[in-house]
Chains A and B, each alone.
Chain A
């Protein structure tokens, strides 16, 4: 592999340089272990953050990298959540197999939907993703014999992880489990994004007309990444169902789809850590302000969105990267 890269200088070297682990990345992942020691009372929040970050990462793959604007990504999150919840209720409570079921169910639906998604852009695409989100929400609401409807899915019982770690009240297992899954998925996404396939996706985002013209199979690429993204969103939903042992209609609603877009854009779309950083800031802020009327909570969110679009394209990470680049340019 190394000799091949050396022989073909250019693109391969570029890709390899991209995949090198930076110190700050390693430090970040070590820092995710701090909550175990520093905030043991907030482990269930930390677990929620890890799950949300995973969800945002799944959206980043299609929205940030492939440029597919989706306002209904909660459809796959909810699918995974209900799949994992129902699996544990009717089959068995072993968590890892439940997670696989969640991923497979979301991936199958995502694959079917991807044939539609790949054909459209602009408003039609937004409307179709929005419509699919509402469609699933209404379906789950109607099928209350299966999903419990507005009362939520009851009777989800999750067994011990690896037959040893019990899901305790404090969330030690929940956070450890969510974090581990997030990290594994992150590794996968990182590999994917730094592959030629990832480069092709960015090409589709930058110019959807020119990519087919240079021979890239645009639609096949979109179908692939959309299916992957759906599966990852399903895993995130499955994690939420398993760690909270309940599934509500809230896992499917428009609010969740909108929130995850907000987080991703806030952190920086099209950056691997964008969704994670956005999820951390968003979830911590919401936890801190949970006392106020939820309708007022919309104000800072809306203001942040306007501010990011107007003054900070690229989100927080994009802004930091620019500051860092200009600082570097000055020092050298």
Chain B
């Protein structure tokens, strides 16, 4: 009786961890610069395609993950230096337009290079199958996903809390002008955070293929979920993103499982309600 419920909860949690990986970077960069980057999921998609391509040439799955991270991070820095940088002080409309434009381009390029078919990856044998524990089946890959996400969360929280760079980032998120006034190089901190965040998205994109597949529409299909996580969790808050992603993942999976006729309706309703109640998100400070 209770076993299926735990199974659904676990699947939802794993899905939530995936959403967390995809969105945490956007949350921190949005909190720092207020730059609305709707091309964030395009970087995630890039990571996914890097993994698919490398595995096509015989690389092992695990070796492709760091490359996916680096490729997404490097590409994002390129765009940050050439295009984004010029719009930090522009209106949000211009930021939205530029980044939607980039996301559109990424969809077309992905369709041109890889075709519109769903891509699949062959995960190593030890990540397949499932473990039966107390009558509940836990898919090994989802366990791996949860473990990875928890480790990354821990590293992020510790780095943000206990390193000099983390302190600079926190200062910049809290009050950008004051941080500048204190001599913190906010632009450099932002560039590094942006690269890290996009890299994590790229990693998330690579890890997502096994769960949700990969096709050129990825850049938009998950953008909405990522934005929900970011806005509900609160800008610049890792804890907020983590909790929002968990809630969203579980409610999405549980909703689809138990009340499929309502579908995604409930999620949007809850999001709008939450934002009306707390416009800055659950853990946002502004």
Contacts and interface: CB of A to CB of B under 8 A. Distances in A.
A309 B224 contact: no
Contact of B92 (A122, A130, A269, A310): A122
Interface stretch (A138-146, A216-224, A271-279): A138-146
Most chain B Cβ neighbours within 10 Å, of A122, A123, A138, A305: A123
Contacts of A63: 93
A38 interface: no
Interface stretch (B49-57, B109-117, B125-133, B157-165): B109-117
B272 A135 contact: yes
Interface residues of B, number: 47
A181 interface: no
B96 A126 contact: yes
Contact of A142 (B36, B96, B261, B272): B261
B251 interface: no
Contacts of A130: 224, 227
Contacts of A319: none
A126 B36 contact: yes
Contact of B262 (A123, A132, A142): A142
A296 B112 contact: yes
- Chain B binding site: helix, strand, loop or mixed by DSSP? helix
A124 B230 CA distance: 10
Given A123-B92, A127-B227, A309-B94, A142 B265 contact: yes
A309 B99 CA distance: 10
Nearest to A124: B279
Contacts of B102: 302, 306
A127 B101 contact: no
Interface of A: 63, 67, 69, 71, 116, 119-120, 122-124, 126-128, 130-132, 134-135, 138-139, 141-142, 254, 258, 261-262, 265, 269, 293, 295-299, 301-306, 308-310, 313
21 contacts: A69-B93, A122-B36, A123-B36, A123-B92, A124-B280, A127-B227, A130-B224, A132-B268, A138-B263, A141-B263, A142-B263, A254-B220, A296-B111, A298-B108, A302-B102, A302-B107, A303-B105, A305-B98, A305-B104, A306-B102, A309-B94
